[in-house]
Amino acid sequence: MISRRGTLSEDRFILVTAQGELSLAEVAAYLNKSGAHFQVEASSSQTAILYAPKLDAKKMMDRLGGLFKIGDAACVLHEKDVEDIDVLTEKLNNTAKFYDWVEDKARWSISTYSDETGFDTDFPALLQEYFKQRLRNDHVSKARYVPPKRTREIDQEIIADELIRQKILDGGFEIMAAHLAGKYYVGRTLAAISNEEYRKRDLGRPVQNPRLTIPPKIARILINLTGLGPGQSLLDPFCGLGTILQEAAVLGLKVTGCDIRGDRVEGAAENMKWLAETYNLKIRDVEKQVFRADAKNLSQIIKRPIDGIATEPILLPPLRSYPSEANATKMLQEAAETYEETIPEMAAVLRSHGKLVLVAPYIQTNSGSKVSFNLEDVFKEAGLKLHKFTHLPSLGTPVMAPPARDQKIRRGVYVLDKL
């Protein structure tokens, strides 16, 4: 066993993101809440470099739904450094902190990330060779290299699962290398997402309907975007089977949900009871928290101001092919009415300075355009203002979730502040 205490500060981090700019918005909301100073130095669709002093990677990973991994960016290399093996070796040698300690028979791995041109395809093999040698020099002779699990497509969820299953982060280590904005950032993985609990809450609950429900990790992102913490109240007025309510309850929030359909309300209540038992949560009077109501009448039903709202009112059915713009607009018409009629009601029950996090569908058309409805005037009249992510000026409005495989409809997420 060896010990190596690092000398470099852990100020710069590599984030492996699951939901593109939506993940970054979640990170910003999380760090803003703790008052931390931070900056996103570079980002691509799957990784970002974050500057943030005093970051507890494990705590952050437990809380956020939009990251696969957090690593430290201990060593920054330029593209020319990678072309020359001697320069590469020297730069890596000068980086003290790739591992603190390694068990003799530990397993170790390397994950590389790049979605940009200019990535040196020899780099992963060079890194592997370098670390083999470095371990030998450190007298760790029996450590075993575990290649990242290969599936037909690279699946970050499976890779994170394997890290945990093979106990690579306990006793061993994983090196992460991200190629971004012409640089290579190399460091060790500090935390990986534990998918197991999310899967349990998704697939272990008694009432399920994947065509209707939002994935629990995306629900978690929406909740984090409200900026709420334990003891504060969250409403989902289109609660369906209660995925958002369940994720919020696990985080210690007081939840209220309603749905226009009785069967959904029953399903959500049953799921909440299961959650309370499984996670030993004190959720009393589920029937009072989850009830049947039309969100058009919220202000008549909810009398106490709510601290935050996270909701997905309409999830359009999956499409087989990309529709024309005219067809997409037609599909959205009915949905638009629901938004127009219920946004003022949501604003009315929200406390001032509270946040409404609202998902709207965006349809990708056969001409390549994205069609949705324009809600600007509705927001304005309801006293809602688009939230400004001051540390992330490049974020879109709404913040878009990347399309899942073959998805023609994407989620646009509005983060709104009540004046």
Ligand X SMILES: C[S@@+](CC[C@H](N)C(=O)[O-])C[C@H]1O[C@@H](n2cnc3c(N)ncnc32)[C@H](O)[C@@H]1O
Angle at CA of residue 199, ends 111 and 253, nearest 5°? 110
Q: How far is the CB of 259 from ligand X (least distance, A)?
A: 5
User: What distance in Å separates the CA atoms of residue 330 and residue 335, rounded to the nearest whole number?
Assistant: 10
Identified binder of ligand X from the candidate list 48, 55, 106, 241, rule CB under 6 A: 241
If one asks whether residue 212 binds ligand X (CB under 6 A), the answer comes out as yes
CB-nearer residue toward ligand X: 261 or 380: 261
The answer to whether residues 388 and 356 touch, using CB atoms and an 8 Å cutoff, is no
Q: How far is the CB of 357 from ligand X (least distance, A)?
A: 12
DSSP assignment string, 107-144: EEEEEEEE-STT--TTHHHHHHHHHHHHHHHTT--S-E
Identified binder of ligand X from the candidate list 195, 243, 256, 372, rule CB under 6 A: 243
Q: Which helix (H) or strand (E) holds 102?
A: strand 101-102
| Adjacent-strand bridge partners of 236 | 257
CB-nearer residue toward ligand X: 267 or 323: 267
If one asks whether residue 240 binds ligand X (CB under 6 A), the answer comes out as yes
Interface positions, 135-154, toward ligand X (CB under 6 A): none
If one asks whether residue 248 binds ligand X (CB under 6 A), the answer comes out as no
User: What distance in Å separates the CA atoms of residue 52 and residue 39, rounded to the nearest whole number?
Assistant: 7
Interface positions, 324-363, toward ligand X (CB under 6 A): 338
If one asks whether residue 202 binds ligand X (CB under 6 A), the answer comes out as no
Stretch that binds ligand X, among 100-108, 206-214, 347-355, 407-415 (CB under 6 A): 206-214
Q: Which helix (H) or strand (E) holds 275?
A: helix 262-278
Q: How far is the CB of 177 from ligand X (least distance, A)?
A: 36
CA-nearest of 344, 401, 359, 278 to 22 is 401
Stretch that binds ligand X, among 162-170, 252-260, 365-373, 381-389 (CB under 6 A): 252-260
The single-letter code of the amino acid at 125 is: A
If one asks whether residue 260 binds ligand X (CB under 6 A), the answer comes out as yes
* Residue facing ligand X at closest CB distance: 240
Give residues with Cβ within 8 angstroms of 137, minimum separation 6.
Answer: none
Q: How far is the CB of 408 from ligand X (least distance, A)?
A: 16
Angle at CA of residue 164, ends 162 and 166, nearest 5°? 65
Q: How far is the CB of 68 from ligand X (least distance, A)?
A: 22
Could you tell me the CA-to-CA distances from 220 to 208, 227, 391 in Å, in that order? 18, 11, 21
The single-letter code of the amino acid at 102 is: V
For residue 370, the SS3 value is strand
Identified binder of ligand X from the candidate list 120, 294, 325, 417, rule CB under 6 A: 294
Q: How far is the CB of 342 from ligand X (least distance, A)?
A: 6
If one asks whether residue 259 binds ligand X (CB under 6 A), the answer comes out as yes
CB-nearer residue toward ligand X: 172 or 237: 237
Other beta carbons within 10 Å of 288 = 8
Identified binder of ligand X from the candidate list 132, 136, 261, 353, rule CB under 6 A: 261
Stretch that binds ligand X, among 145-153, 182-190, 198-206, 290-298 (CB under 6 A): 290-298
Site size toward ligand X, by CB under 6 A: 23
Q: How far is the CB of 20 from ligand X (least distance, A)?
A: 20
Q: How far is the CB of 203 from ligand X (least distance, A)?
A: 13
Pair of tokens at residue 40: 């996103």
The region, left, alpha or beta by phi > 0 then psi within -120 to 50, assigned to residue 281 is beta
Other beta carbons within 10 Å of 13 = 25
If one asks whether residue 283 binds ligand X (CB under 6 A), the answer comes out as no
Interface contacts to ligand X, rule CB under 6 A: 212-214, 237-244, 258-261, 264, 294-296, 312-313, 315, 338
